[in-house]
Amino acid sequence: MEPFCAEAGEGRKALGGDFVKAELTELERLARQGGALAQEERHLLRRELKVDGSIVTSADRAVESMLRDELPKLVSDAGIWGEEFGLGTPGSGGLWTVDPIDGTSNFTFGSPMWGVAIALVQADGVKMSAIFLADLNEMFLFAEGLGVTLNGQALPAIASGVIEPYQLVSAGDYVQRTVTHIPGKLRLSGAAVVDASFTACQRFRGLVGKNERLYDVAPGMGMLQSLDADLRYLDGAPIDYVELMKGERIAKPWVGFPKGSGFYG
């Protein structure tokens, strides 16, 4: 069954170029491998609480370990920052960000709203990324200048315009405590990769984020930027990737909205 999403089409630019195609093919393979590994580990899951009270599982660690072994083969001169094993130093090729299971609580309790998230980030933005929603069998791929695909089909640019009261907008719990007058009907998925990928294909009209780290949001930010979203901090400032690569949480609200929404804090 085809996923219900905004109608796929030619997109801004069809994916092309043998070198980029080869990189994306390998990135897709790794994301799928990570999703399959997580699903296998689910049957013998071991979980514990981190210092911050969030859940970490044996599956999170197994997937990140695999990706740390494999990603240097794809871009050898990039550092790696993974949620479970820490922040590495960016190299000349940038920084791989890895969230092995974004939405770990959802994953642990049997919800399909989780995914494997990988991105290559440089000082001027996200260069390529993959989000694999394994239980939904949905693969979102992005490369700078070449568009975004869902299961191989190019996604169209996000249509500009206001957000209607009946349209869905993702807003996490940190956002809902601090940001008022968000347009649309608010939804909380519990996973940044779900929020971003659902916005990319317009199941959600937009999203508002806060308090994430770069590994949570980089894959989706690259996709939304490519799809002509209004991607910025709520105060209008552009996303500062150099600052986010230092490892801190995103301290102020940011949006991935359609252009022309008219929404500013």
Residue 191 φ/ψ, nearest 5 degrees: -150, 125
Domains, in order of start, for the chain: 18-154 (3.30.540.10), 168-258 (3.40.190.80)
Q: Where does the pLDDT of residue 164 fall: very low under 50, low under 70, confident under 90, or very high at 90 and above?
A: very high
Question: What per-residue confidence (pLDDT) applies to 30?
Answer: 98
Q: Is pLDDT at 16 greater than 80 in this prediction?
A: no
The DSSP code sequence of the chain is -----SPP-S-SS----HHHHHHHHHHHHHHHHHHHHHHHHGGG--EEE-TTS-EEEHHHHHHHHHHHHHHHHHSTTEEEEETTTEEPPPBTTEEEEEEEEETHHHHHTT-S--EEEEEEEETTEEEEEEEEEGGGTEEEEEETTTEEEETTEEPPPPPPSPPPTTSEEEE-HHHHHH-----SEEE--S-HHHHHHHHHTTSSSEEEE-S--HHHHHHHHHHHHHTTEEEEETTSPPP-HHHHTTS----S-EEEEETT-----
Question: What per-residue confidence (pLDDT) applies to 7?
Answer: 53
Q: Are strands 86-87 and 168-171 parallel, antiparallel or unpaired?
A: unpaired
Q: Is pLDDT at 131 greater than 60 in this prediction?
A: yes
Query: For residue range 86-111, what is the model confidence (pLDDT) as tens digits?
Result: 888 888 889 999 999 999 999 999 99
Question: pTM of the entire structure?
Answer: 0.90
Contacts within 8 Å (CB) and 24+ apart, 14-17: 14/146, 14/147, 14/154, 15/141, 15/143, 15/146, 15/147, 15/149, 15/154, 16/146, 17/146
Mean pLDDT of 109-125: 95
Query: For residue range 146-157, what is the model confidence (pLDDT) as tens digits?
Result: 899 999 999 999
- What single-letter amino acid sits at 248? E
Residue 30 φ/ψ, nearest 5 degrees: -65, -40
**Which one has a higher pLDDT value, 74 or 133?**
133
Question: What per-residue confidence (pLDDT) applies to 204?
Answer: 98
Query: For residue range 25-81, what is the model confidence (pLDDT) as tens digits?
Result: 999 999 999 999 999 988 877 766 665 667 678 888 999 999 999 999 988 789 999
Q: Are strands 138-143 and 254-258 parallel, antiparallel or unpaired?
A: unpaired
Q: Burial code of 79-94, b = ≥16 C-beta within 10 A, e = fewer?
A: bbbbbbeebeebeebb
Q: Is pLDDT at 264 greater than 70 in this prediction?
A: yes
Question: What per-residue confidence (pLDDT) applies to 119?
Answer: 97
The chain-wide mean pLDDT, for the chain, equals 89
